Structure 1
Amino acid sequence: MPKIDLDAGSKPPRGVDAPSQLHVFVGDPPRELSIFTGVAAPEFEAGGQDRVEVRVRLGAMATEGFGWTAQAALASISNDDSDFTFATDSASVDLDPSDSVLRLKIAIAAIGGSSILHRISYTVHVLSDPIQAKITGQISWSKSFGGPTYLVTGERKPMFRVDIGQTVAIPAPEHGVAGAQFVPQASVSLSGR
């Protein structure tokens, strides 16, 4: 089946009008709920009996084993004057194998005379584990500040610990106080050399 590739995450979006994203953390431990909406513009020119897969890169990543729901509308259109039918046969979500970016796949079909399908609106919900960030780099300092102690060099104890993550708001319980919790996404302990 031929493919039409569109990208809601590129700047500017390629072949997608008004793409939007909303990301929230739900549950304990937190999982990430992402909602994507937009209008894909495949400009699919059909004549006769044609099928094509429209693939829309959504512009965000997810972990393996994510859950999803997807809806694509123009469900079906026909015309009594010309025996012409457009249909969205299915909508599914996967990860682009090249870089793990979420991708909406819409199978569309057309039967009848020459016509163009201009736009398809879509809504996608994805539930996944938070993306694990990576920490890379080098920590260095001038020797004038001193060197690692015996605990670091002899016993190989960590000299530094670096955490990255985000602070998640915790709603106030009834008659309680709202708070916040740091949710680490990556952590590394570094030893001296």
Structure 2
Amino acid sequence: MELDTRNGQHVVGHSVLKADLGVGGRSLIVISGIALPEWRIDSDETHRLDCRLMLREPAGMIEQSAVHVGLASIGNGDSEWVFATDQARLAVEAEELVLIINLAVMGEPSSLNRFSYQIVLTHRMVVSEITGTISWPTAWLRPTAPTPAGVSGVFSLRANELTTTPASGPLGGTVEHLLPLTPGEIVSVVIGEETCLATYRIAEPPLGRNLKVTVAARKPNGAGETMLDPVAANGDLMTLSVAQPTRTNVDFILSSDSIA
């Protein structure tokens, strides 16, 4: 069974309290609420299952944690019964917190409708970042100044979540789908006689997701945009994690084919 705190049919009263501990980026976080498994059975045998509650909180680097789960609403039809939250533990999946609870119910009939939860933890926030360069021929575009303002409105860059689906038709393959997530910014510009170079930064892209960085350039004549190519093959693809929250040298180049 999987429940999600973003779904009002799964959880009520979900709340998150955060306090900055003021040392080394540490925070105290208290998460609480009431989950609605609405698990009903009609059996004289004990049934068990794992309930996974998606808390939708970034995991960061967990230092300490304490978990409490208690029965909040149960029902029985006048028979022998069992209601239990045998064990609860905190896990990390795709860099987000997940509460896993081992439930047990017996009765003819019985229903475990709700249970309460509270998690207290301390963690350190992991700062994620993607950096790289954008290069193009000076003849195509000479910035008005060697500053980010000199290319204002020219480049659009962002980190996108990448998913794929099978392509229809006899050739098969896959189709890419990009969900825009985190925009980037130009932080410096160097103007050369033949080539210009801009350095960019994407601050705090999400961890644990398949990302693809895209860079588009507005054509000087105003006739739409052109997409820039990564310098390294598949260099625009990545998945950041707590262990590796940053990626550097994600470089792009405006090719002569794109200019044409």
Q: TM-score range by the shorter chain?
A: 0.5 to 0.7
What does residue 144 of structure 2 align with? 145
Structure 1 position 61 matched with structure 2 position 53: no
C-alpha separation in 1, matches of 2:145 and 2:30: 51
SS of 2:129's equivalent in the other structure is: coil
In structure 2, the CA distance between the partners of 1:104 and 1:120, relative to structure 1 (3 Å rule), is: same
Q: Higher relative contact order at CA 8 Å, sep ≥6: structure 1 or structure 2?
A: 1
The unaligned stretches of length 5 or more in structure 2 are 147-189, 205-244, 254-260
Amino acid at match of 1:73: G
Contact 1:85 1:112 in 2 (8 A): yes
Kindly indicate whether the alpha-carbon contact (under 8 Å) linking 2:65 and 2:121 is maintained by their aligned counterparts in 1. Answer: yes
Taking a change above 3 Å as real, the CA distance of residues 49 and 189 of structure 1, as seen in their structure-2 partners, is closer
Q: For the residues of structure 2 that align with 1:18 and 1:83, how far apart are their CA atoms?
A: 31
Matches of 2:250 and 2:81, distance apart in 1: 66
| SS of residue in 2 equivalent to 1:119 | strand
Give a deviation string over 1:41-70, Cα, whole Å, max 9, x none: 011113321011111010111134542111
Aligned residue for 2:20? 25
In the other structure, the counterpart of 1:101 is 96
Report how far residue 134 of structure 1 moved: 2.3
- Paired residues in the alignment total 160
Q: CA RMSD in A?
A: 3.8
Distance (Å, rounded) in 1 between the aligned partners of 2:112 and 2:80: 15
Query: In 1, are the aligned partners of 2:73 and 2:112 still within 8 Å (CA)?
Result: no
Rounded to whole Å, the distance in 2 between the matches of 1:54 and 1:190 is 40
Determine the C-alpha separation between the residues in 2 that align with 1:65 and 1:22: 16
Name the residue aligned to 1:172.
Answer: none
1:93-117, CA deviations, whole angstroms, 9 ceiling, x for partnerless residues?
0012xx2210011111123322111
- Relative distance call for 1:74 and 1:134 in structure 2 (3 A) is same
**Are the aligned partners of 2:133 and 2:199 in contact in 1 as well (CA < 8 Å)?**
no
Letter in 2 for 1:93: L
Q: Cα deviation per residue 1:78-135 (whole Å; 9 max; x = unaligned)?
A: 97x5221201111110012xx2210011111123322111100111112111132324
CA drift at 1:138 = 6.5
Q: Are 2:79 and 2:109, in contact at CA under 8 Å, matched by a contact in 1?
A: no
Shift of 1:24: 2.0
> Which position in structure 1 is the counterpart of 2:83?
86
Identify if the C-alpha distance between structure 1 residues 137 and 120 changes in structure 2 by more than 3 Å, giving closer, same or farther.
farther
TM-score (norm 1): 0.65
Q: How does 1:95-174 map to 2 (within 5 A)?
A: 95-96=92-93, 99-135=94-130, 143-147=142-146, 148=190
Question: Percent of aligned pairs with the same residue?
Answer: 29
Take 2:28 and 2:48, find their aligned partners in 1: how far apart are those partners?
32
Residue 72 of structure 1 corresponds to which residue in structure 2? Answer: 69
For structure 1, the residue ranges without an aligned partner over 5 or more in a row are: 154-158, 166-184
In the alignment, the residues of structure 2 paired with residue 92 and residue 39 of structure 1 have an alpha-carbon distance, to the nearest angstrom, of: 16
The Cα of 1:144 is off from its aligned counterpart by: 4.0
Secondary structure at 2:79's aligned position in 1? coil
* CA distance in 2: counterparts of 1:95 and 1:66, whole angstroms: 13
